[in-house]
Structure 1
Amino acid sequence: MAMLSYRTPPCLRFISIYCSRCLPGTPTIFGGQSVRELHTKNFLLGTARTQIWLACATTKTIHHQQQRCYSLSHPPDTVSPPSKLKRYLVDNCVRFAEWYERFLERRYPKVFQVYKIFKIGIRDFIADTKMYYDVTTDLWTGKSLNDFTRKELGVYRQYPKDVWKVSPVLIISALPFANYVVFPIAYMYPKWFLSPQFWTSEQKETIWGGQLAKRLRHCPLALRHLRVRHTHMDDDHPLQEKLKVTLNKIRHFQNLSVAEILDLKPLFEDYPCHIEKISIAYVRQLAKCNNLPLRRSKLIDSTLVAHYTDLAMGREGIENLNDEELAKACYERSLNPVGISREEQLRHLCDWVEVSRAIDENSLSLLLHLPIFLAYNKPTNRQLSGRSLQSG
């Protein structure tokens, strides 16, 4: 029977040499096999099998750990559909809420009206809060005022006033049982405790009309300051006569055209009517005419925002405003829209925007005088203010 030749591996030879040196009498394996060689061979084979098994086990463990970590850091992007019971309960809750709203509207119409006012008001107030935060953040990052929409700039101007009104009501109503007292009081006095988001159409007309009447009462005082500035002008000033004619027209309840107003623009770019060159009393009267801050620095900033609001309204199209937005824009620009047609309201806003487009940061004082030049002698404003306008 033929003998299979066996070639001793290098590692086995090394072990045999080591054993022969450390243990006297142990033969060194260079050729045939010996007993110690067989024992050493079996030991190495068993060790190798053990190492292979440990390596496989370690690899499987690492693989499972990687799968577990992967599943934790990257959860599946799908959600299992709700069960039939959960779907049934949610659908019935929604149907019950809708039915209960209809029931309140039929059975208790006044209670439902109050509920609807606060529901819509809170929703709009939260939306304006988010918009104000976005606009403020964009301004901090260097975004220009010319990049915002009319609504965004309007919220940026109005929201700080609204939050001072609404915050006390919302904070006190969070106390236990306080909402049963706070909300009825706020509903009875919306002008003092609620913002326009919570007002009805009738309340908006009444409150905005009262605020406009109060602003128009300051127009004769601002006009008096303008007459004083006219008397201080030199007789050879090229616009001295034009300003005199303008003052006489306003005194006799005549309206000014856009061309006549723009002819006076140089007077508001420098002496005598630049916003930095007029007295503090004059600045305060102009601020009250426009419902803007009284301090000169804040007045300039607010007037600049109002100027860019006019530009945004012109870009978006004045004719695209709905009736409520159109009435609000007229109140903000010193015109009482009650009793006049939509075309007249649009004409007033178009004239206002045309003048606003022609001015720049150096002639912002002209924009502050537009309530006197454009709206002071409007018939609806005379009806709203009565004797206060006749005193001009």
Structure 2
Amino acid sequence: MALPGAAARGGLWRLGAAALGPPRGHVQPQLALALSSFQVRSPVRSQLCRSPVRSVSSRALVAAVAAAARRANARYERYLEKSFPRFYLLYSTFKTGLQALFLELQEIRRIRARMSQLQLSPQQLPYRDMERLRQFRRDLLKIIPIGIIAIPPFANFLLLIRHFWTPRQQVEFLAAYERGRRAAYPAVLRALARAARALPEPRPRQLLLQLCAQRALSQVLFLTPHLPAFLLRRRLRSHVLEIRHLDRALLLLGLGQLSEEELRAACYLRGLSSTHLGQAECRAWLEQWLRLSCELQASEASLLAHSMVLLALNAGQPPE
């Protein structure tokens, strides 16, 4: 090869007459070592030169296989849509839900990594990250038991998770939850009436009784009542304080930064069904709620929970 030959001539030129004479000591082994190193490295260089070509060809092969798979999948979906429309609706809903769930998991992983890197608690997150983390935890409580039984023929149970709801199901399920919320209002107001009778001063007692008599009925928090009393109190307090932290993050963000969908979701979480209200009315109600929430302390969580009932009823009830 030319390069080892040039290196040999350079080595002879550096060594001078000592290299041209008979072997003396360790000079010639050094020259042999230099030549062998060039001979060993040259195949490695040729392999490195060929490796980009191989990587490009492998990427092209993967892209071709992926394109063929997408075409086959598109033909399969068209066949399902034409031949089995009801099954195709379930299939497309399941596929879209899996994609949404995968993106949600990626986003939660990003939030968790940021929390770990900056040593943040969930209460220190921005509003959108805090709300996403809160909603993911609630979904996780549903998806774990459902995922265990979500094998054919029980795959329909996956529709209970919000990622797998169709737009029509979203409207239907939220309306059903709202009806359940309103159905639990009588017990809430009866408890308020009993508390009012226990007040020693007659004037505050009369005002509270009038306030309770003017309100309609609804349930505020989506918590199961089938728990022991101490566990239910703990969950209720934890849920209300979580909303209180969200309120402070929302106040820092500003209501003007919320989209209409985020605005209505925030109202719904705090007890107001906004389907019959305009965007300006939702914003005005949420401003009223934030003023109350940010003035209360953590020890006043019970007052904040009952305020959900009273403030939601002040806005009126959606049509049945």
Q: Same fold (TM over 0.5)?
A: yes
- Cα distance change of structure 1 residues 83 and 211 upon mapping to structure 2, 3 Å threshold: closer
Structure 2 residue aligned with 1:333: 270
User: 1:182 aligned to 2:154?
Assistant: yes
Counterparts of 1:105-116 in structure 2, within 5 Å, are 105=81, 108-116=84-92
Structure 1 residue aligned with 2:7: none
Structure 2 residue aligned with 1:56: 31
Contact 2:196 2:205 (C-alpha < 8 Å) held by counterparts: yes
What's the C-alpha RMSD, in Å, of the aligned pairs?
4.0
Counterparts of 1:1-392 in structure 2, within 5 Å, are 46-48=22-24, 51-61=26-36, 80-82=55-57, 86=61, 88=64, 90-98=66-74, 100-102=76-78, 104-105=80-81, 108-135=84-111, 142-173=119-150, 178-179=151-152, 181-183=153-155, 185-186=156-157, 190=159, 194-235=160-201, 241-242=203-204, 244-253=206-215, 289-292=220-223, 294-380=231-317
SS of the residue aligned with 1:205?
Answer: helix
- Per the TM alignment, residue 380 of structure 1 is displaced from its structure 2 partner at its CA by 2.0
Which amino acid in 2 is paired with 1:201? P
> In structure 2, what is the Cα distance between the partners aligned to 1:345 and 1:377?
12
SS of the residue aligned with 1:379?
Answer: coil
SS of the residue aligned with 2:168?
Answer: helix
SS of the residue aligned with 2:317?
Answer: helix
- Cα distance change of structure 1 residues 291 and 85 upon mapping to structure 2, 3 Å threshold: closer
Contact 1:169 1:182 (C-alpha < 8 Å) held by counterparts: no
- Cα distance change of structure 1 residues 85 and 352 upon mapping to structure 2, 3 Å threshold: closer
Aligned length: 288
**CA offsets 1:296-332 (integer angstroms, 9 cap, x no match):** 3443333222112223334444455445444433322
**CA offsets 1:37-59 (integer angstroms, 9 cap, x no match):** xxxxxxxx6441x6222112334
- Cα distance change of structure 1 residues 59 and 223 upon mapping to structure 2, 3 Å threshold: farther
Structure 2 residue aligned with 1:3: none
Contact 1:208 1:331 (C-alpha < 8 Å) held by counterparts: no
**CA offsets 1:30-81 (integer angstroms, 9 cap, x no match):** xxxxxxxxxxxxxxx6441x62221123345567779999999xxx999843
**CA offsets 1:340-359 (integer angstroms, 9 cap, x no match):** 33333333223222322323
**CA offsets 1:188-245 (integer angstroms, 9 cap, x no match):** xx3xxx211111222222222222322333333233333333333343xxxx735642
- Cα distance change of structure 1 residues 223 and 89 upon mapping to structure 2, 3 Å threshold: closer
Bigger relative CO (Cα 8 Å, ≥ 6 apart) = 1
> In structure 2, what is the Cα distance between the partners aligned to 1:58 and 1:94?
56
Contact 2:199 2:205 (C-alpha < 8 Å) held by counterparts: no
Structure 2 residue aligned with 1:39: none
Identical positions, percent: 22
- Per the TM alignment, residue 138 of structure 1 is displaced from its structure 2 partner at its CA by 5.6
SS of the residue aligned with 2:303?
Answer: helix
> In structure 2, what is the Cα distance between the partners aligned to 1:246 and 1:79?
80
> In structure 2, what is the Cα distance between the partners aligned to 1:56 and 1:243?
106
Contact 2:193 2:212 (C-alpha < 8 Å) held by counterparts: no
> In structure 2, what is the Cα distance between the partners aligned to 1:89 and 1:105?
24
Which amino acid in 2 is paired with 1:241? R
SS of the residue aligned with 2:199?
Answer: coil
Larger radius of gyration: 1
Which amino acid in 2 is paired with 1:195? I
Give the gaps of 5 or more residues in structure 1: 1-44, 255-285, 385-392
